[in-house]
Amino acid sequence: MNKSNLLTASQDRKPSLSFNKLDLVLLLALAVFGFWLYQRASIGVNYTWRWSEAFTLIFTSRSDGSLPYFIQGVISTLRLSIWGMLLALTLGTLIGVARHSSIYVFRSLANVYIQLIRNIPPLVFVFIFYFFISNQLIPAIGLEGILREYSGESNALQSMLFGPKPLWENLLSGVLCVGILSSAYVAEIVRSGLAGIAKGQWEAADALGLSTWAKYRLVIAPQVLAAITPALAGQAISLVKDTSIVSLISIQEMTFVGTEMANSSGLIFEIWLIVGATYLIFCLTLSTLFKRLERHSLKHKANG
């Protein structure tokens, strides 16, 4: 594909705000369904909406003057998502490269890792990992002792990145759960991206005498990134949603906090709609960021 075609493809992929007839019909149907649901909740179910109480609850500071409980849950979800993505991308890239390797041992071990994790239901994986692996792995490598024996006060940067010191071990367990779970899917995405690179590109890089690192960084990686960005975007969004699963092992992210607030206040519908809307905002933001990254990658590929 020449540069003009790549630029045209990049322009064609820009998001458009125009609506066709099907879009309008779907939006109208969604609006009608939402209105019907609201009416049924207000009349048929005899439910009185208490939005003012719900918003007051989620924005009220705690008794010790700290951030509102719900906001703490939102921040915890962001931490889990960001650190989980970093772990998934790093580990998944390494395993994806190994899966594409010509060395049989690397390829086989990577395949076992991918198949093992991908074929276990996420909920079952979280329970197995947390109770049988994380509880053994963290103490075995000495992290538990380091985290518990750290006597210094956490500074502002540490608090922002890792949260309150008593919850560091909790955060680590959650990050390992969602990161390792997603890394298997990222690995398969990376492998498919590498497999899609034309053989001539590899041969040209070798003919130039590039080292393995330079070959991947200058020739292979830009092309792979442009090809796999949409799939990575979908997996990143899945990871954000998967953070809700770790609420079952008492990690105080947004779903865990929402459950406690809904049960204690009785504002079941309001709290869960707010939680759902917050996840939706996170996922739409990620989708927008990845679309921009994809356009940037296509332009870089066209100009290169």
Residues 6+ apart with CB under 8 A from 139: 145
Per-residue tens of pLDDT for the chain, all 304 residues: 444 444 444 444 444 445 567 778 888 888 888 888 777 766 666 677 888 999 999 998 888 878 899 999 999 999 999 999 999 999 999 999 999 988 899 999 999 999 999 998 988 888 888 777 666 666 666 555 555 555 555 556 666 666 666 677 778 888 888 999 999 999 999 999 988 888 888 888 888 888 888 888 888 888 888 888 889 989 999 999 989 988 888 788 899 999 999 999 888 889 999 999 999 999 989 888 888 877 776 676 666 5
Report the alpha-carbon angle 75-168-129, nearest 5.
95
CB 235, CB 286: distance < 8 Å: no
Report the alpha-carbon angle 221-235-113, nearest 5.
80
Pair of tokens at residue 212: 């393995």
Q: Residue 225 has what pLDDT?
A: 84
User: How much is the pTM?
Assistant: 0.77
Q: Residue 142 has what pLDDT?
A: 59
CB 191, CB 94: distance < 8 Å: no
| Other beta carbons less than 10 A from residue 165's beta carbon | 16
CATH 1.10.3720.10 fits 50-303, yes or no: yes
